[in-house]
């Protein structure tokens, strides 16, 4: 029963103690944390965005610098090729084919010349190539046998020099003028939304993609503070830029350095951060307004518990103990509501406990009656099953008493009948005794495939021909005789409930750390309603036990299940009426036994 709460009368928010408490609560617990959270979120997010921008620009500058270094490596390889041509000419007198060099090197080099004391010879490009002037440091670099990179001319061009013979640099120098369109490829050097610039070791501009070259002084100040890489502010093309530089450090290899710069406008770089900040502050303000509105609503609803308690008291007086009041305040009303709910809960629990006790008494009575019926059925089934072999024995012995001593054939026939009855009776006694689960089991390695074949061999020839067996060797630890007997019972069960022209398929395969054995028949099948009862002692499902009882005691599947579980396995059954049954057994494989190492004696 839901308690209908009448609308409380309107009161002033600050005129009541609870109203003032709510105002302080929402002010201290909502407004202050919201402001702190907004400040922390904006600071951390924008800081992370700035770090990501610096990392992105640094990676782009480094990638561009490494790309330029790779191009210089290609030019250095071209100079090595020219040196080979020149050396070959010196040995054989064969002239250097300028067309061949242009075909291989023309894409990267605008001109290639060889300067010797005798003069300058142009191999690729136009004659009259201007050779750069070298200082002592550059000459020493050439003398060390390394290629030398120089920037010269106006506009600035790059050239790479190499000694014709590194051991004797005075004999001549190979000079290659690097083709600028190939070396400075803006599409590869700059990333989307950025501009690119390159400077030499003295911070002289080499190449840039700005409309107008920015002032290099901010870069010079940044390099002085951090020579390898850093971030600085730049003003170019009338905009403020965020720039990141990276030193390629080509001095040891090429006698020169590059400073590679990637830059983005502040509007592009920080646009996302600024947009986030604006939207976040707008969201925070809207949230604050919502909190204030919710606080006013909650304050208005503070007096609701009084009306609810009154209505709930009336409902309890009329006998409805399921009513509860929802009062969560930490004041006198909250204590009163909790006490009221505790009282109704205790009353309801007492009634439910009494009902549970009555149900338990009924269930105990039903369980006792079921146990008595089970005991009676057990005694009836056991006596019925024992009576048949006992009748055979008594009849055979009685007839033997009247057979003449001379009739040896009749005496042997009835003695055999009595023996079979006694053996059957003994087996039934053993089966019943085994139900208590205390029978002794041996623990020895057993090959499941061998055990299955042995169980099939025990069948009559006509039944044996109906079994289709496919088993792989698999060793388990268990009682070989009882395991073979379990297989025999499953085979007998499958053959018994299948037509004589239907096969029984038995497979054994290894799955992980277990061997899985399946017995599949196409017999009458078992109703899904009876699957939980097939392992009960003396239970033969799907037929009337008095007038349609199958041959057997009804203990076979019970003993099979007990044997499999004693060996650490499990048994499952899938069946459907008219479609046959599948019994699936999983047994754990035996762990390999380590063989102790033996040491030979000489």
| pLDDT higher than 60, residue 396 | yes
Q: Tokens 């030499």 label which residue?
A: 200
Return d(Cα 387, Cα 430) in angstroms, integer. 16
Q: Provide the token pair at 67.
A: 């790309």
570-576, strands of its sheet edge to edge: 467-471, 504-511, 514-521, 580-588, 570-576
Return d(Cα 48, Cα 42) in angstroms, integer. 10
Q: What is the pLDDT of residues 151-209, one digit of tens each?
A: 887 788 888 998 888 777 677 888 888 888 888 888 888 888 888 999 988 888 988 88
| pLDDT higher than 50, residue 5 | no
Contact assessment for residue 262 and residue 61, using Cβ atoms and an 8 Å cutoff: yes
Radius of gyration from C-alpha coordinates of the chain = 50
| Closest to 586 (Cα-Cα) out of 574, 601, 572, 576 | 572
> Among 40-44, 413-417, 485-489, 575-579, which range has the highest average pLDDT?
485-489
Q: Provide the token pair at 323.
A: 């009513």
Q: How many CB atoms lie within 10 A of CB 259?
A: 28
| pLDDT higher than 80, residue 14 | no
Q: What is the mean pLDDT of the chain?
A: 78
Q: Tokens 């406008």 label which residue?
A: 265
CB neighbour list of residue 83: distance below 8 Å, 6 or more residues apart: 162, 164, 174
Q: What is the pLDDT of residues 415-431, one digit of tens each?
A: 777 777 777 676 666 66
Contact assessment for residue 261 and residue 198, using Cβ atoms and an 8 Å cutoff: yes
Residues 387-392, mean pLDDT to the nearest whole number: 74
Percent of the chain with pLDDT over 70: 78
* DSSP one-letter string for 404-420: -TT-HHHHHHHHHHHHH
- pLDDT attached to residue 505: 92
Give strand pairing partners of 173. Answer: 115, 163
The DSSP 8-state label assigned to residue 170 in this structure reads G
Q: Please indicate, yes or no, whether the overall pTM of this predicted structure exceeds 0.75.
A: no
| pLDDT higher than 50, residue 388 | yes
| pLDDT higher than 60, residue 325 | yes
| pLDDT higher than 50, residue 9 | no
Q: Tokens 């924008």 label which residue?
A: 46
- pLDDT attached to residue 88: 76
Contact assessment for residue 196 and residue 213, using Cβ atoms and an 8 Å cutoff: no
Q: H/E element holding 242? A: strand 239-247
| pLDDT higher than 50, residue 545 | no
Return d(Cα 356, Cα 557) in angstroms, integer. 37
Q: H/E element holding 174? A: strand 173-178
From 3.40.50.300, 3.30.565.10, 1.10.10.60, 3.40.50.1820, which CATH number describes the 441-588 domain?
A: 3.30.565.10
Report residue 213: phi and psi, to 5°. -65, 125
**Using 50, 70 and 90 to split pLDDT, how confident is the model at 517?**
very high
- pLDDT attached to residue 550: 46
Report residue 471: phi and psi, to 5°. -135, 140
Contact assessment for residue 276 and residue 46, using Cβ atoms and an 8 Å cutoff: yes
| pLDDT higher than 50, residue 55 | yes
Q: H/E element holding 235? A: strand 229-236
- pLDDT attached to residue 370: 66
| Closest to 86 (Cα-Cα) out of 150, 151, 174 | 174
Helix/strand/coil for 137: helix
Percent of the chain with pLDDT over 90: 7
Give strand pairing partners of 162. Answer: 174
- For residue 237, give Cα distances in angstroms to 196, 220, 575: 13, 19, 84
């Amino acid at each position: 029963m839901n308690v209908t709460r009448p609308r409380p009368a309107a009161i002033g928010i600050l005129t009541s103690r609870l109203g003032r408490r709510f105002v302080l609560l929402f002010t201290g617990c909502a407004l202050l944390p919201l402001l702190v959270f907004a400040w922390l979120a904006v600071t951390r997010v924008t800081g992370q965005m700035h770090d990501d921008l610096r990392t992105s620009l640094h990676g782009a500058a480094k990638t561009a610098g490494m790309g330029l270094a790779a191009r210089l490596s290609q030019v250095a390889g071209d100079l090595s090729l020219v040196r080979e041509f020149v050396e070959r000419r010196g040995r054989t007198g064969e002239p250097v084919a300028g067309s061949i060099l242009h075909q291989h090197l023309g894409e990267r080099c605008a001109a290639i010349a060889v300067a010797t004391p005798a003069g300058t010879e142009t191999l690729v490009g136009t004659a009259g190539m201007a050779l750069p002037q070298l200082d002592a440091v550059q000459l020493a670099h050439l003398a060390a046998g390394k290629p030398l990179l120089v920037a010269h001319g106006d506009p600035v061009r790059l050239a790479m020099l190499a000694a014709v013979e590194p051991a004797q640099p005075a004999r001549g120098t190979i000079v290659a003028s690097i083709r600028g369109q190939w070396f400075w490829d803006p599409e590869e050097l700059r990333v989307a939304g950025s501009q690119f610039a390159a400077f030499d070791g003295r911070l002289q501009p080499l190449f840039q993609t700005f409309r107008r070259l920015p002032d290099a002084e901010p870069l010079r100040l940044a390099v002085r503070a951090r020579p390898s890489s850093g971030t600085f502010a730049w003003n170019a093309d009338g905009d403020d830029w965020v720039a990141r530089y990276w030193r390629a450090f080509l001095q040891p290899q090429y006698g020169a350095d590059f400073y590679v710069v990637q830059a983005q406008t502040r509007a592009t770089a920080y646009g996302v951060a600024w947009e986030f900040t604006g939207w976040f502050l707008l969201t925070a303000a809207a949230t604050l307004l919502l909190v204030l509105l919710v606080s006013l609503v909650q304050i208005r609803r503070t007096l609701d518990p009084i009306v609810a308690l009154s209505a709930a008291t009336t409902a309890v007086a009329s006998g409805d103990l399921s009513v509860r009041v929802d009062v969560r305040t930490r004041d006198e009303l909250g204590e009163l509501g909790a006490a009221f709910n505790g009282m109704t809960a205790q009353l309801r629990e007492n009634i439910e406990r009494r009902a549970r006790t009555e149900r338990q008494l009924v269930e105990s009575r039903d369980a006792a009656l079921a146990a008595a019926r089970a005991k009676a059925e057990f005694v009836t089934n056991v006596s019925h099953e024992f009576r048949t072999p006992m009748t055979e024995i008594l009849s055979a012995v009685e007839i033997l008493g009247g057979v003449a001593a001379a009739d040896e054939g009749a005496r042997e026939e009835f003695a055999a009948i009595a023996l079979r009855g006694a053996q059957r009776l003994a087996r039934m006694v053993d089966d019943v005794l085994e139900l208590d689960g205390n029978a002794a089991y041996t623990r020895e390695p057993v090959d499941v495939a061998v055990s299955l074949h042995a169980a099939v061999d025990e069948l009559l020839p006509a039944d044996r021909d109906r079994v289709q067996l496919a088993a792989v060797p698999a060793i388990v630890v268990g009682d070989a005789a009882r395991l073979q007997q379990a297989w025999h019972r499953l085979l007998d069960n499958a053959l018994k409930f299948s037509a004589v022209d239907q096969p029984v398929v038995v497979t054994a395969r290894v799955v992980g750390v277990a061997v899985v054995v399946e017995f599949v028949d196409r017999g009458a099948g078992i109703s899904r309603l009876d699957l939980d009862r097939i392992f009960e002692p003396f239970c033969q499902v799907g037929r009337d036990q008095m007038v349609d009882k199958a041959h057997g005691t009804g203990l076979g599947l019970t003993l099979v299940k007990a044997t499999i579980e004693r060996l650490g396995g499990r048994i499952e059954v899938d069946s459907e009426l008219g479609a046959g049954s599948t019994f699936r057994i999983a047994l754990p494989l035996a762990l390999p036994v380590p063989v102790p190492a033996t040491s030979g004696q000489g």
